Amino acid sequence: MRIDYRLLHGQVAFAWTNFLGVNAILIANDKVAHSNFRKKTLSLAKPSGVKLIFKTVAESVQAINSGVTDKYKVFVIVETVKDAYELVKNTEQINDINVGLVASRPETQEIAKSIYVTVEEIKQLVEVEKQGVNVIIKQAPNDGDVRFSSLVKDRG
């Protein structure tokens, strides 16, 4: 799973899809799932030969848990740490979170280039990391892995 506030764009659509060898992309986002305009816009970045699925976070949890996604190698993309946290807490199949781009908002602190998190988001990611989920900061596939916890030791 990748957290990227831009959701599907060139780098995610091509670099990450090829790097991971996926054949399906699941965009788990409540607003996008209910917006035909956003779905059409994001579909423009879909790589050929890759299935693109839009679901709410709750529908994504249900789909993953039901096994309907098992026939695909799925790349889940969420917009926020909160959405990633909800998916990880309610499924057992997500073992890796790639924190790519998290937008700057009020009450956030920058912990890495283009990664802005609140104290609550730090707690959520540290919690899932302690439960065995691999949480890494990595903007592009060729970047080195940076463990999330190594950036927030004395924060939050």
Radius of gyration of the chain (CA): 15
pLDDT digit string, tens, across residues 72-123: 999 999 999 999 999 999 999 999 999 999 999 999 999 999 999 999 999 9
SS3 80: coil
Contact 7, 38 (CB under 8 A): no
The fold of 2-151 is Fructose Permease (3.40.35)
Close Cβ partners of 43 (under 8 Å, ≥ 6 residues apart) = 52
Phi, psi angle pair for 148, to nearest 5°: -55, -45
Close Cβ partners of 51 (under 8 Å, ≥ 6 residues apart) = 23, 24, 25, 72
pLDDT of residue 83: 98
- Partners of 78 in the β-ladder: 3
**Average pLDDT rounded to a whole number, residues 137-144:** 93
Beta strands in the chain (DSSP E): 2-4, 24-28, 51-55, 74-78, 96-101, 109-112, 115-117, 134-137, 146-147
d(CA 39, CA 24): 15
Confidence of residue 10 (pLDDT cuts 50, 70, 90): confident
Q: Could you say which DSSP state residue 107 is in?
A: T
d(CA 39, CA 42): 5
pLDDT digit string, tens, across residues 25-78: 999 999 999 999 999 999 999 999 999 999 999 999 999 999 999 999 999 999
Contact 2, 98 (CB under 8 A): yes
Close Cβ partners of 84 (under 8 Å, ≥ 6 residues apart) = 1, 3, 78, 97, 125
pLDDT of residue 154: 56
pLDDT of residue 23: 96
pTM of the model: 0.94
pLDDT at 156 over 90: no
Taking each helix axis from N to C terminus, what angle separates 81-90 and 119-130, rounded to the nearest 10 degrees? 30
